[in-house]
Amino acid sequence: MNNTTNGILYLVATPIGNLGDITARAVQTLTDVDFIAAEDTRVTLKLLGHLGIKKPLVSYYEHNRFQSGAKIIQRLLEGQSCALVSDAGTPAISDPGEELVRMCAEEGLAVLTIPGPCAAVSALSLSGLSSGRFTFEGFLSTSRKSRFEHLQELKNERRTMIFYEAPHKLMRTLEDLLEVFGDRKLSISRELTKLYEETLRMTLSQAIDHFSSSPVRGEFVLVIDGAAEALIPEVSLDDAAKAATALVKEGMSVKDAAKKISEETKLAKNAIYSAVLNRRQ
Number of domains in the chain: 3
Give the structural domain span for 270: 237-280
* Structure confidence at residue 2 as a pLDDT band (50, 70, 90): very low
Measuring CA to CA, which residue among 203, 212, 145 is closest to residue 178? 203
Average pLDDT value for residue range 102-108: 97
CA distance 118 to 267: 44
Average pLDDT value for residue range 42-68: 95
- 149 and 177 in a common domain: yes
Residue 4 pLDDT exceeds 60: no
- 127 and 93 in a common domain: no
Residue 254 in any domain: the answer is yes
Give the model's pLDDT for residue 232.
54
Give the model's pLDDT for residue 3.
46
- Alpha carbons within 13 A on the beta-carbon side of 176: 21
- 146 and 92 in a common domain: no
Average pLDDT value for residue range 270-280: 87
Specify the DSSP class assigned to residue 169. Answer: G
CATH number at 79 reads 3.40.1010.10
- 99 and 132 in a common domain: no
Give the model's pLDDT for residue 133.
95
- 210 and 140 in a common domain: yes
pLDDT in tens, 119-147: 999 999 999 999 999 999 999 999 989 99
- 127 and 109 in a common domain: no
CA-CA-CA-CA torsion for 174, 178, 181, 185, nearest 10 degrees?
80
Residue pair 41/84 in contact (Cβ under 8 Å)? The answer is no
- 210 and 179 in a common domain: yes
pLDDT in tens, 240-272: 899 999 998 999 999 999 999 988 887 888 989
pLDDT in tens, 218-237: 899 999 999 987 655 678 88
Specify the DSSP class assigned to residue 265. Answer: H
* Structure confidence at residue 81 as a pLDDT band (50, 70, 90): very high
CA distance 276 to 258: 8
Specify the DSSP class assigned to residue 168. Answer: G
- 262 and 191 in a common domain: no
- For residue 54, give Cα distances in angstroms to 2, 45, 165, 219: 20, 9, 33, 29
Residue 192 in any domain: the answer is yes
Residue 193 in any domain: the answer is yes
Give the model's pLDDT for residue 231.
53
- 53 and 78 in a common domain: yes
Average pLDDT value for residue range 18-38: 97
